[in-house]
Amino acid sequence: MKNFLSIGCGKGIGLATAERFAREGFRTTLTARTGSTLGAMVQALRDKTFMAESAVLDASNIQAVSTLVREMDDKLGVDVLHYNAAALRADTIASQATESFVPDLAVNIGGALAAIQAVLPGMAKRGGGTILLTSGGFAYHPSPDYLSLSIGKAGLRALVQALYAPCRAQNIHVAMVTVEGHVDHATAIPENAAEHFWQLYSQAPGSWTSEAYHSW
């Protein structure tokens, strides 16, 4: 059975993407900061007869991210890693404090780097894998009102672009879905984004792309 690991899973795109892969037979593991939220999401998947597990994880704790990903990969083998964590802080250059800026970047980009570093050796040893990241329109159109998030999304895009070719040489597909605009959990946006992730995963090796763009 293939394994799907979500870092920073939320009730929107994170859960929808986990469910999309679960429908295809993946065992899913969801991580987030809050145990009660995790419990509800895992139960929602189990209620649909999907295999789902969880682990409490703060994506701003770089060492904890690295340790969890490495341990799970050693134990089960991570076939698909989805980095979905983000610090959605509304702050400008005038209001953003360094005490919050650095932790924001740890979530928005640092955790992604740590998770990828932890999973790459195992994927390379097994001969392949998929690494997916949730990006956003701020990567292209940074907002002065969401400074740390804009920098984080731009960083994720740069990370994907930098890693795409060397990872492809190891049969590891690194790609992102860029979601433009505010994600309303009550709409079809999470499910549509999840479908983009599945389509990226399903691409034939000779037809891989590094990004899918979803806007409305």
pLDDT in tens, 133-150: 999 988 899 999 999 999
pLDDT in tens, 3-20: 999 999 999 999 999 999
In CATH, what number does 3-214 get?
3.40.50.720
Domain boundaries, the chain: 3-214
- Cα–Cα separations (whole angstroms), residue 135 to 33, 65, 69, 84, 104: 20, 19, 20, 8, 15
Residue 150 is predicted with a pLDDT of 94
* Burial letters 127-145, b for 16+ CB under 10 A, else e: eebbbbbbbbbbbeeeeee
Residue 60 is predicted with a pLDDT of 94
Parts of the chain with a pLDDT under 50: none
Residue 184 is predicted with a pLDDT of 59
Q: How far apart are alpha carbons 212 and 179 in whole angstroms?
A: 9
Give the predicted TM-score (pTM) of the model: 0.95
